Structures are given as structure tokens and as C-alpha cells.
Structure 1
Amino acid sequence: MRRQRTPVESVASIVLAFEVVVIGLGALAAWALGSVAMAPAFIAGASLVVLAAITVLTLRYPFGVWLGWAVQALVIVSGIWVHMMFAVGIVFIALWAYAVISAERAMRMRAEQESQFNDHVSGTEHHQ
């Protein structure tokens, strides 16, 4: 049976999937605008895409979320070569923060509800 993904894994991987497309377009823009030569633009873009893909695979572990924060920081840093990536990076770091924080909050709420349910069920069994 396949392991069920956590809400953090689900929403964070969606953010990263959209970000991979933007990273690729950012690499193309860096080359097209003449900010960076073709080879370095594609190597940097491909490296960041691979890092984002690895991050998706590691989201089940706490360091995967931290790796995601690093990807967000690198996207902002890419604004050095393509200035619009500063704005794009800020948008994606905001999406990342909202997704991760909201998903973690949902996981805590669900765990609390399950705990209360289990306490209720075990409490009613003692009264019988």
C-alpha cells in the first residue's frame, strides 16, 4: 500500500512544481536578455530545477522543508541576473511560507481532533 502524503508534502510540492516552470523561464530570460551566457544560464537553471525536484522527494523529512526554503532563497538571489526574479522570488517565498505554515497548522489541528476523539472513545468505554 502506498504511503499517504502529508498536507505539507502535498502543498509544498505544488508550489515547487510551479516554481520549476518559472525557474526554467528565468534561465531562458537570463540568456535572452544577455545577462548571462547561454551555458551558465542553462547550467544554473537546470541545477536549480534539479534541486527543486530533490526537494520534492525529501519533503517527507524535516530537512526537506528547509531545503525548500533554500530553493526560495536561491530564486531570490537569481534576481542579480534577471531583476524580475526578485519579485518572482518574493511571490514564491510568500506562497511557500503560506503553504507550509497552513499545512502544518492543519496537521496539528487534525492531530488534536484525533486525540480528543480517542479520549472520548476511551472515556465512554470505561462508563459501560
Structure 2
Amino acid sequence: MIDVEAALVAWLENNVAGVHASTETPSDLDDRLPWLQVVRLGGPYDGFRRDQPTVDISAFAATGPAASDLALQVQEALHTQLWGATTGGAVFSRVETRTGPHKVPYDNPALRRYEATYAFVIHPA
């Protein structure tokens, strides 16, 4: 089974200018903005080739408009560049926005967070 989080982290860092991405947020997040966090929520797998992961992608920035813009930039890139592409050993044969970018509270008042949920259909290259 393909590690969709690792594939997306690498793809986002290579295709969204000026961002860092990972599955975790670093302790010094406010010094490393802008940041994207990628977390698989679940999704069916056929046990052979076809995986259908659901993934949250959170965009962190210093201001609300910057976080919103980053989240929208990610959404556009996923739909226009990732759909049909091969990355991290995976073919991304479908990209769907399940919940569009929206503001999510965050514990650090110096940061703003926008999040969106995506569904993918992937299989090994």
C-alpha cells in the first residue's frame, strides 16, 4: 500500500512555492511559516492496488488571509496539477474536494489555520 501522506508531503513541497509540509507540526511552527500539515483520515483500500484515501490538509500562516490564500492555492494545485500525475510511486487518478478550505481555530494566537478535506483514488505506478 502506498503511503499517501508521504507522497503528498513530497509533492506539495515540490509544487507549492515557498512552503514546508509534513504530517506533524514542529514545535517552532511560528518561525517556519508557511506550513502544510497532511493527515490521512481513512478511506477504503481493496487489498490489492486501489486505495481511496481521505486526507486533511491544513494550511498555517501568520494571518488569516495568508492561510486562506495558501489553502486555496493548494486546492487549485491538487485539481490542476496532481490529478492524473504520478508521484511517490502513486498514480493519482482522482482528486475530489470533500470539504473546501475553511478557518479552523488553533491554540497559538499568533497563527492562523485553514483546512480542507480531499478524497483521492490512487494506485501504484
TM-score by length of 2: 0.32
Structure number, greater radius of gyration: 1
TM-score by length of 1: 0.31
Structure with the largest fraction of helix: 1
Structure with the largest fraction of strand: 2
